[in-house]
Structure 1
């Protein structure tokens, strides 16, 4: 009987994966934001995506 491998329990599982290519300016902005806010790149990307919500029609 094989047991399913489990990670840490979460209320907000991250099921979707994306890959992004950035120019130098965008990478510099991302790095500075991450350092300033003490977050990883994926958390910074999620925050940026959520800010786009207000622009949806």
Structure 2
């Protein structure tokens, strides 16, 4: 009946989806980074987002 779909168990679920449009330069940088580091698009995006944290203003 209402069986719940099971995915890979994780301690760090990622329920949020984000879509972005990139210009050619940003896509080239992202592609080169993914190849150099051997990571997926999503891992590269998460790493880039986390690099923004030091720039956040303290409230």
Q: How many residues align?
A: 57
Is 1:17 aligned to 2:30, yes or no? Answer: no
Extract unaligned runs of 5+ from structure 2. Answer: none
Please state how far the C-alpha of 1:52 moved relative to its aligned partner: 0.2
Question: TM-score, with normalisation over the residues of structure 1?
Answer: 0.96
- Structure 1 stretches of 4+ with a deviation exceeding 3 A read none
Aligned mates of 1:3, 1:26 — CA distance in 2: 41
Question: TM-score, with normalisation over the residues of structure 2?
Answer: 0.93
Secondary structure at the counterpart of residue 42 of structure 2: helix
- The alignment yields a C-alpha RMSD, in angstroms, of 0.6
Aligned mates of 1:5, 1:40 — CA distance in 2: 24
